[in-house]
Structure 1
Amino acid sequence: MYRFLMAALLVCMGGALQAQQPQQEDARTFAKDIQQPGVQVFDVRTAEEYNTGHLPKALQADYTNKPEFNERVKYLDKQKPVYIYCLSGGRSSKAAQWMRENGFTKVVELENGVNAWKQAGLQLEGVNTKKTQLTMEAYNKGIAKGVVLTDVGAEWCPPCKQLEPVLAAFLKSHQQVKLMKVDGGNDTDVMKAVGAKGLPTLIVYKNGREVWRKQGVATAEELAAAVK
Structure 2
Amino acid sequence: MGGINAEWEVSVQQTRQMLNDRDGFVLLDVRNPDEHSTCRIEGALLFPLSDLANRLDELRDLAEGKTVVAHCHHGGRSLKAAALLREAGLGPVKSMAGGIDAWSLEIDPSVPRY
Please report the TM-score for the alignment, with normalisation by the length of structure 2: 0.77
Q: In the TM superposition, what is the alpha-carbon distance from 1:49 to its structure 2 partner?
A: 0.3
RMSD of aligned residue pairs (Cα, Å): 2.1
Rounded to whole Å, the distance in 2 between the matches of 1:100 and 1:119 is 29
1:42-80 deviations in Å (ceiling 9; x for gaps)? 0000000011111121111221x2xx2222332122432
Which of the two has greater strand per residue? 1
Rounded to whole Å, the distance in 1 between the matches of 2:28 and 2:88 is 16
Rounded to whole Å, the distance in 2 between the matches of 1:57 and 1:100 is 22
RCO (CA 8 Å, sep 6+): is it higher in 1 or 2?
Answer: 2
Moved more, 40-49 or 23-32: 23-32
The residue that corresponds to 1:61 in the other structure is: 47
Query: Greater CA radius of gyration, 1 or 2?
Result: 1
Taking the TM superposition and a 5 Å limit, the aligned residue runs for 1:197-208 are none
Rounded to whole Å, the distance in 1 between the matches of 2:87 and 2:14 is 25
Rounded to whole Å, the distance in 2 between the matches of 1:123 and 1:74 is 35
1:88, 1:115 within 8 Å by CA — same for their partners in 2? yes
- Indicate how the Cα distance of structure 1 residues 74 and 100 shifts in structure 2: closer, same or farther if over 3 A, else same: same
Structure 2: runs of 5+ lacking an equivalent: 1-5
1:62-102 deviations in Å (ceiling 9; x for gaps)? 21x2xx22223321224321111000000000110111111
Which AA in structure 2 matches 1:25? V
Q: Which residue, out of 85, 102, 110, partners 1:116?
A: 102
- Indicate how the Cα distance of structure 1 residues 75 and 124 shifts in structure 2: closer, same or farther if over 3 A, else same: farther
Which AA in structure 1 matches 2:54? E
% identical aligned pairs:
26
Does 1:75 pair with 2:58?
Answer: yes
- Runs of 4+ aligned residues of structure 1 deviating over 3 Å after TM superposition are none
Equivalenced residues, count: 103
Local SS of the residue matching 1:99 = helix
Which AA in structure 2 matches 1:53? C
1:34, 1:83 within 8 Å by CA — same for their partners in 2? no
